[in-house]
Amino acid sequence: MSFRYDIRLSGSGGQGLILMGLILAEAIGIYDGKQVALTQSYGPEARGGTSKAEVVVSDAEIDYPKAMALDLLLCLNQKSCDEYYLDLKPDGLLIVDSTLVHQVPVPGACQIPFTRIARDKLKREMAANIVALGAIAKLTTIVTPKALERALLARVPRGTEQLNLAALKAGMTAAMKARRVKRTQIIREREDEDT
Q: What is the tens place of the pLDDT at every residue in 88-122?
A: 999 999 999 999 999 999 888 999 999 999 999 99
| CB environment 101-117: b (16+ within 10 A), e (fewer) | beebeeeebbbbbbbbb
The whole domain housing 118 covers: 4-194
pLDDT higher for 2 or 60? Answer: 60
Mean pLDDT of the chain: 90
pLDDT band at 63 (very low <50, low <70, confident <90, very high): confident
Q: Per-residue confidence at 14, pLDDT binned at 50, 70, 90?
A: confident
**pLDDT for residue 167 is more than 70:** yes
Least confidently predicted of 32-46, 114-128, 168-182: 32-46
Query: Distance (Å, rounded) from C-alpha 139 to C-alpha 148?
Result: 13
Q: Regarding predicted confidence, which is higher, 49 or 96?
A: 96
**In contact, 40 and 65? CB cutoff 8 Å:** no
Mean pLDDT for the stretch of residues 127-141: 96
Structural domain tally of the chain?
A: 1
When pLDDT is averaged across residues 78-97 and rounded to a whole number, the result is: 94
User: Collapsing DSSP states into helix, strand and coil, what is residue 71?
Assistant: strand
Predicted local distance difference test score (pLDDT) of residue 51: 87
- Which 3 state secondary structure label does DSSP give 11? strand
Whether this model's pTM surpasses 0.85? yes
Compute the distance between CA of residue 4 and CA of residue 1 in angstroms, rounded to an integer: 9
192: left (phi over 0), alpha (psi -120 to 50) or beta: alpha
Q: Is the pLDDT of residue 160 over 80?
A: yes
Is residue 97 within 8 A of residue 77, CB to CB? The reply is yes
Supply the CATH number for residue 16's domain: 3.40.920.10
Distance in angstroms (rounded) separating the CA atoms of residues 60 and 4:
8
pLDDT at 162 over 90: yes
The rounded percent of the chain whose pLDDT value lies above 90 is: 74
94 three-class SS: strand
97, containing H or E segment: strand 88-97
Q: For residue 169, what are the contacts with CB-CB under 8 A and spacing of at least 6?
A: 134
